[in-house]
């Protein structure tokens, strides 16, 4: 199975590449292929220092969609629709949305699109045969990148297709100490995405660097 | 400090009375005072079996509002507005809302009122001088009542008044192993309330009895 990361040169994308490429074939995408190649070089060096092997290559976002079986959309909400509008070929693919529509005033709040959640918006933009999963929504970007810290968090996964959901939950459970939880159909993704502004508020008002979540 | 529980004869109210009355003066309210007295008798017996003393008495909901310093609204969302409409005298009181507006189809979802959250709706129904805090939103009813199980969860607290917020966070931190987190102003309560349908989905789709949350 090949995992592709659209927007893989951002903070979360780079962290995901670091965490996933020792276990899976990973292709990292960017609008600018040169940036994607550079991100992969950095990741490869970081992993080598830790004595870890990886399978990692940098390509365009379109090649990620063309070649990967599971495509992670590691893009901020405001870039999600514009990016998806430039890409084709999602037919039959599993598409993972870790996207959170968040805004802030003096606190962070959930600001979903008319579809009810980022995940449902993504679903509406893709062909019928693509399967969208919400996952990895509640993990802080900087946590992904610090390889020598365990990611000891819970990850809620929403999806309408059981086989795809199982496949994504298995990927989650293969990353550090993450533990996947079935959180129902994709329409239930809004209550997963909205945990992220809560965690940002808790970090902000509690003067913590970041906050994560565990279901117990 | 006297803590009053409006709707104290329901599952959560009774559990809160059990957990709070060994540490605080607690008055339990009901529309029907006889029910409130009966609930207090049951709680007192349960605590006696555990060798615990308590300060607990059953009154009407209106007397709870009149006599308590901190008033917990242990009522389901659909009864919140009708109950508040029958009560007066909230001036100067701290009012704790653990209320979650939730609906379900084949999954649970967050269904807030036009004010954005149950907490904001409650605020809008009370006099200006009352201070509303959202707290205790994400703890399953049956967990409250099982006295010999630790409540080892995180509790997000939202409030616009710092002194009231500190007072409520101290109450939270005095219950079992609960730990209070400052989650910002009351307007941020929607992302606290919406954790509850997520936990219900995780319990349902993961075939767990219930699920709680910890911020880490």
The enclosing domain of B193 has a CATH number of: 3.40.50.720
At which residue do the structure tokens 């795809």 appear? A164
Q: Quote the minimal CA–CA distance from B136 to chain A in Å.
A: 15
**By the CB < 8 Å criterion, does A35 face chain B?**
no
pLDDT tens-place values along chain A, 216 residues long: 999 999 989 889 999 999 999 999 999 999 999 999 999 999 999 999 999 999 999 999 999 999 999 999 999 999 999 999 999 999 999 999 999 999 999 999 999 999 999 999 999 999 999 999 999 999 998 899 998 899 999 999 999 999 999 999 999 999 999 999 999 999 999 999 999 999 999 999 999 999 999 999
Residue of B153, B198, B207, B210 to mutate for A, most A C-beta atoms under 10 A = B198
**By the CB < 8 Å criterion, does A132 face chain B?**
no
Q: What is the Cα–Cα distance from A119 to A94, expressed in whole angstroms?
A: 13
Quick check: is B109 in a domain?
A: yes
Q: What is the Cα–Cα distance from B186 to A196, expressed in whole angstroms?
A: 17
Q: Residue B148: pLDDT above 90?
A: no
Q: What is the Cα–Cα distance from A45 to B173, expressed in whole angstroms?
A: 45
Quick check: is B125 in a domain?
A: yes
For residue B50, count CB atoms less than 10 angstroms from its CB and return exposed for 0-12, middle for 13-18, buried for 19 or more: exposed
Quick check: is B62 in a domain?
A: yes
Quick check: is B152 in a domain?
A: yes
A111 contact residues in B (CB cutoff 8 A): none
CA-based torsion, A20, A22, A25, A31: positive or negative: positive
Whole-number mean pLDDT of chain B? Answer: 96
Nearest CA in chain B to A207: B182
The token duo for A216 is 């117990």
Q: What is the Cα–Cα distance from A138 to A115, expressed in whole angstroms?
A: 20
Q: How many domains does chain A have?
A: 1
Quick check: is A105 in a domain?
A: yes
**Secondary structure (DSSP) of A101-166:** -EEESSSEEE---TTSSHHHHHHHHS-TT-EEEE-STTS-HHHHH-TTS----EEEEEES-HHHHH
Quick check: is A211 in a domain?
A: no
Per cent of chain A over pLDDT 90 is 95
Quick check: is B14 in a domain?
A: yes
Quick check: is A215 in a domain?
A: no
A106, A187, A197 ranked by CB distance to B191: nearest: A197
Residue of A191, A197, A203 to mutate for B, most B C-beta atoms under 10 A = A191
Q: What is the Cα–Cα distance from B63 to B154, expressed in whole angstroms?
A: 31
Tell me how far the alpha carbon of residue B199 is from its chain's centroid: 17
Decide if B199 and A214 are in contact by the 8 Å CB cutoff.
no
Domain of residue B13, residue span: 2-205
């Amino acid at each position: 199975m090949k995992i592709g990361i659209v927007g893989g040169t951002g903070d979360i994308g780079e962290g995901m590449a670091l965490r996933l490429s020792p276990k899976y074939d990973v292709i990292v995408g960017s609008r600018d292929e040169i940036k994607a190649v550079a991100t992969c070089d950095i990741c490869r060096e970081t992993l080598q220092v830790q004595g870890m092997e990886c399978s990692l290559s940098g390509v365009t976002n379109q090649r990620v969609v063309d070649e990967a079986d599971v495509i992670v959309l590691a893009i901020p909400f405001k870039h999600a629709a514009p990016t998806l509008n430039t890409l084709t070929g999602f037919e039959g693919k599993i598409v993972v949305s870790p996207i959170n529509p968040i805004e802030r005033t003096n606190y962070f709040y959930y600001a979903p699109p008319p579809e009810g959640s980022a995940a449902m918006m993504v679903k509406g933009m893709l062909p019928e045969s693509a399967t969208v999963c919400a996952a990895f929504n509640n993990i802080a970007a900087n946590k992904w990148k610090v390889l020598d810290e365990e990611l000891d968090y819970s990850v809620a996964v929403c999806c309408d297709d059981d086989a795809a959901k199982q496949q994504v939950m298995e990927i989650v459970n293969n990353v550090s100490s993450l533990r996947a939880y079935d959180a129902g159909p994709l329409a239930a993704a809004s209550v997963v995405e909205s945990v992220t502004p809560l965690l940002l508020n808790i970090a902000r008002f509690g003067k913590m660097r970041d906050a994560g979540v565990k279901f117990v």
